[in-house]
Structure 1
Amino acid sequence: MPRTIAFLFDSGGVDLVGQARTGSAKALLRRVVEHPGVDRAVVSTPSPDLWAQEPVTVEPDPPAPWRFGLRFTELIHRYRPDRLLYFSAGSGFLLTDEMLDRLITFEPTSSAYAVLNNFYSTDFGLLAPPLPLGDLARDNPIGTRLWQAGYACFELPRSTGTQFDIDTPGELQLLALHPTVPSELRAALAAVPTARAQSLLEFLVDPEREVVLLGRVGGHLARWVEGEAACQTRILSEERGMESSGRAERGAVRSLVGALRHGRTPTELVELLGQFGDAVVWDTRVLMAHLGFWPPPAERFASDLLDPTQVTHPTLRELTHACAEAPIPFLLGGHALVSGGMYLAVDLAWENMDREVRFRPLPFPG
């Protein structure tokens, strides 16, 4: 029988996002190791103590500078799986039991194949056989690299379970409203503010409201929100793939929202954006890249939580303060907020609600 091993990469960390990622990863792997199709689970992490009590093999990351592809390839050579389940911490934990089983047991006739949550920006997937990826700095381009190597690449249906990923406090404000959040996450989410996220959920099911989405909004998500939310939507999608393409690293990001910033203060920009809807969901990383600054994670995350007192960069501090004081809710984050975060938001918004309030025609028969 082919040997299936699960690899999970957890960067650890004691901040809110780090704790949530580790908690979600534990919740996921406890399910994975119970599946009869999985022979072993391996966790690569710089924080091995966090995993000491889990039913997994812990591989402490070496102290040298860490690079995804090199570590991935090293572990492949060490464990030599026939089939590899790969997960980044923070992804996959909202998969239904049925979808997780389909992922683990999928075996097409292709000699080399992969099943990915997102072909264009991968967070988790099944690779058979696993391919060394030594030159990759991060996991997002896995799908493209496998396709270039001749793999048959399949993509899981897009949903909250397949697309939600913990990357910023933005999506954690939505996750904190989940009625059945895994117990491993409850402590980390206990202090997360939810008032603005709750307002967003209410607006999503109100035909008289309009929600603005800004940033790296994918086409599938845009179509899905259009069909599933009752509200009107105003979407400005820009700079998809800015990191995987290298544009962010080269300083080549160009943003329409960033262009609106020129000649305006951050406060004036927020006031302008607030005129176009009842709530704004904003991937602010595109604006940061356009303006040429990238604060450390602690400051970006403080901005996502609308706490300007913890932000030292003057532009981001003023923008954060303006969003906190705005008369409408601003929900800030990164790509994960305007992708998996919005899938979750729409699903949560319809909890205990009648979906028939949406304006939609009947399908034409025949």
Structure 2
Amino acid sequence: MAGAALAANLPMPAIAQNKPVKIGLLTVKTGPLAQGGIQMEQGANLFLKDRNSTMAGRKIELMIGDTGGNPAGTKTKAQELIERDGVDMIFGPLAAFELLAITDYIAAQKVPILSLAAAEDMTQRKPNPYFVRASATSAQNMHPLADYAAKELKYKSAITISEDFAFGYEQMGGFQRVFEDDGGKLVKKLWPPIVTPDYSPYLAQLSGVDVIVQGFAGSNPLKFMKQYKDAGLTLPVLGGGPACDDALLKSFGDEAIGLITATAYTSDLDSPINKKFVEGMIRDTGNTPGLYAAGMYIDGMVAEAALEKTGGKTDDKDKLIEALRGVSLTDSPRGPFHFDHFGNVIGNIYIRRCEKKDGKLVNTTIKTYPDVSQFWTYDEKWFLSQPVYSRDYPALKS
């Protein structure tokens, strides 16, 4: 009885606060998206190493679930992390189709989720109140890229090519809308399956325009650009964030030279915090980091700022998500950013050109678009009244 009386007198919150904060990381280690998934884990690990696995006075425990890169695997791993492991929040997953498979479940469980998955409607027409995205929607990079293509590069016509899934549709829909509004013409949209060993049937259709716009992700950009060059094609190529990700540069050949891409993170950002991050990644992994590693590191910073606001408390999930969405950082590896009322980031988008310097491929920033919203320059209400970007929307103009 004495033991029970003693236990009853102990302050319960103190016991709770001494427990580690459990963060579940949904990543992917196999298949064409594994390139990004492995980097996500590396970025999360570096953040925890830099913070001695402590945030707001509490130890952090990272629990990793490999989704296998498919919706069913993502659902299973999310359930394990939440119901078996009792995680306080989730980082990941990587792909839009993974995120869409668990969004209703996550909302019902009231577990905050910080994801790089770019599915537009997570912060638009079907918003998840427990969702935070510090990277970008699928189209958030592509709106400024289209603006740059039309206004600065003076391109008048384009063909788009991207994987046949939601991320591809939404990227290319965003590019098309702004490019056409700026006076450009989209001639054709091509959709190879996510696993396409040979792009020849598609490459044969890439002609008669000013520019090719590709939206490949994971390791697919390497295959596409090599086959593009081998086919003797010389039209300029533009791409989204993953299309010439900094982490891919060591695997590209000269076929990547001249490729212009738009991204929320660039390793050449000249700031002390980014230089420290890049040096840490090179030291620990031997590779320049790209947006997948940076995204997880930045999610760590968001979680840390929110936990400092809640005094390290994670039990009240509504207060925790409010704190997460209220984070505004003036300094991060991607530059300054904050969140809109849907939990989506407003921050810089960088236009870069791939170049060879001292025998090495590098991405060099040639323009920065500041404070880019997921709605670009469009009226939010109008934007949300339109259908989500899809395989057939916007339709090609005849």
TM-score (ref. length: structure 1): 0.38
TM-score (ref. length: structure 2): 0.36
